[in-house]
Amino acid sequence: MTITTIRHLGDGLEYLYVGRNTTEDTKLLSRMRTILISLCGGLMLVAGFLGYLFAGRAMIPITRAFKKLREFTADASHELRAPLTVMKASVEVVQEHEDLLPPFHREALRTAKAEVGRMAELVDHLLTLARSDAGMIELQREKVDAVQLVQESTRTMRAAASMNGVSVQVHDAPAGNAEALTAEASLIADRKRIKQLMIILIDNAIKYNVPGGTVELNVRADGNLVAIAVKDSGIGIAAEDLPNIFDRFYRADKSRDRSQGGTGLGLSIAQWIVSAHGGSMTVESELGVGSTFTVQLPTSA
């Protein structure tokens, strides 16, 4: 709108208002804005789709390479099991007559047997992880008594604990209430895998303990979960290492782990077993005091 003053002999007489209808212009600008917004949205969708498409194509060679590497690991591990079994059996046969050998040869024989055993353990762990990554492992679920399974695992590891000067104890229930807890602590789980999980945790608690140290296991029912805690009085884990202990081949104490024959894969397998059962695992540790690994598993599948 334009305002014009009408004057006569220098005096203002009145104002003249001149206006123009801009309705069509406003509508046109509104339509243009809508078109531009729609166009920008469409271009963003197209750009997103093209980015996804090209990224997917770029990942194809990487995915294929990773798949081949995973298959190679599984195949190689599987093929290595047979010769390692033969080597172990051969060493054991020779050991039956090791009293006829000089001391140096007997020591070499014991070293060879230990290394073959370590290699066999590594191969088994690699095969388990490769098959789990490929989704080739199916859990054979059944009703499992958690207390009984923990006790069986403890008995399996007592010889190793004794050799290391470590005592292992199971605190499964308050006095006089063992039967009630056993009923509550039943799981629908893969018995073989849960026992493997317990062996890994107990084995680590023994390896990283101190002479005269202890390993305590506690089983308790907690609602629809069964909690199993493995507590040791060992060397502990540094705070900066805790976030990485479940990573494959990670060693918090490389020199000690190697001397104990560790592969750096045990906790990775333990984590996979727990996750496959829909559970969780936490760890609390302090250097020079010890560590506590707590596994929580659902009572039903």
What CATH number has the domain spanning 143-298? 3.30.565.10
Q: 12-21: per-residue pLDDT in tens?
A: 556 666 666 6
Q: 178-237: per-residue pLDDT in tens?
A: 444 454 678 889 999 999 999 999 999 999 999 899 999 999 887 888 999 999 998 998
Question: How do the domains of the chain map onto residue ranges?
Answer: 1-137, 143-298
**Residues of the chain predicted below pLDDT 70:** 1-22, 62-63, 65-78, 172-184, 251-263, 301
Write the single-letter amino acid at 19.
G
Interacting residues of 15 by C-beta distance below 8 A, sequence separation 6+: 3, 4, 5, 6
Angle at 284 between CA 278 and CA 286, to 5 degrees: 160
Helix (H) / strand (E) element for 121: namely helix 103-133
Give the global pTM: 0.66
